[in-house]
Structure 1
């Protein structure tokens, strides 16, 4: 009887440990995770090593409801939230769900800018940590994800890159972003969040 009790207690403890270890695993946000009126505001600045400011401003995203459907509003456009929460099947996406410390993958993005320039971003990604991170908007549990690689485009531009995304599951968004492209450093930080 005693040995059965010990086996039972061992299984209970193993189950509790597994649950605790799994608590640092984050799935892709779903439509039900967002609310009408939710809003994120970031400040951003991009500076070259010679001190030239190439970007400086504020960026905002907000969730609105139209006829019972949720939309995300950004500076350039408004689009259905269902587009954002579509399951990401690619193992080469910016966020390779589920997120978990130690996870590695290769990000591969092919894009076209508004002026018709085509380019590629290929970076090795790794989730470095999950811990409390403080930005101007507050302190949130967040993953720090490092991306290292190269960006190229059809105009002959090529640069080594290192990006650090600090992603807060509670907010379903990054709270800080640092991008380094050769001699250019761009930083975006969340300054306001509201529901």
Structure 2
């Protein structure tokens, strides 16, 4: 009887461990996870080490109806949500799904800005933790993902950078970003999140 009780306790503990491991793993959001009217508002500010404010404002994104399909407003653009949730086939993605603590990967990105400047990022990424994090918009379970590497551009810019993203599965987005790039420090924090009933 004692052996039977110990076996049952062991199985219960294994089941508990297994559940906690799966709850600490997050999949990429799908189209079905988004709702019409869902809205995110972030406050951002970027300052040089000498105190010069280079950016200061708010960024709003909202899920809207785009000719019968869901779209997300990003600045003056509206992007179909199907594009946002499409799996990244590159070997160096921003988020390497599923997310889980301890996971590491390489992130690379090439871009062209509106003025024609081209640039690239090459970073090592690591998921450091999954825990409650509090920002102005509330308290959420979030992954802390640290990116370390370099950014270069066609105008001769070449700088070491470190970024820490807090990604919250419940809002399908980051809730805070801190970035240090050369003499520039940038913070962006979610100040409001609305999910329609």
Q: TM-score, normalised by structure 1?
A: 0.94
- 1:67-89 CA distance string (max 9 Å, x none): 43100012130111100000123
| Structure 2 counterpart of 1:56 | 56
Which aligned segments of 4 or more residues in structure 1 are displaced greater than 6 angstroms? none
Q: Does 1:35 find its partner at 2:51?
A: no
Q: Does 1:129 find its partner at 2:129?
A: yes
Moved more, 176-185 or 58-67: 58-67
How far apart, CA to CA, are the structure 2 residues paired with 1:74 and 1:157?
27
| Structure 2 counterpart of 1:13 | 13
- Note the residue ranges of structure 1 that are not aligned, 5 or more in a row: none
How far apart, CA to CA, are the structure 2 residues paired with 1:93 and 1:3?
49
**2:66–2:80 contact (8 Å) kept in structure 1:** no
How far apart, CA to CA, are the structure 2 residues paired with 1:105 and 1:161?
16
**2:168–2:175 contact (8 Å) kept in structure 1:** yes
- Note the residue ranges of structure 2 that are not aligned, 5 or more in a row: none
- 1:158-177 CA distance string (max 9 Å, x none): 00000010111000000101
How far apart, CA to CA, are the structure 1 residues paired with 2:11 and 2:131?
28
| Structure 2 counterpart of 1:152 | 152
How far apart, CA to CA, are the structure 2 residues paired with 1:129 and 1:175?
15
2:10 alignment partner, SS class: helix
Q: TM-score, normalised by structure 2?
A: 0.93
- 1:32-89 CA distance string (max 9 Å, x none): 0000000000111100001111101110000012343100012130111100000123
How far apart, CA to CA, are the structure 1 residues paired with 2:147 and 2:124?
5
- 1:99-142 CA distance string (max 9 Å, x none): 11111111111111111111110011111111111111111110
How far apart, CA to CA, are the structure 2 residues paired with 1:133 and 1:12?
29
**1:90–1:96 contact (8 Å) kept in structure 2:** no
| Structure 2 counterpart of 1:105 | 105
How far apart, CA to CA, are the structure 1 residues paired with 2:179 and 2:153?
17
Moved more, 136-145 or 67-76: 67-76
**1:122–1:149 contact (8 Å) kept in structure 2:** yes
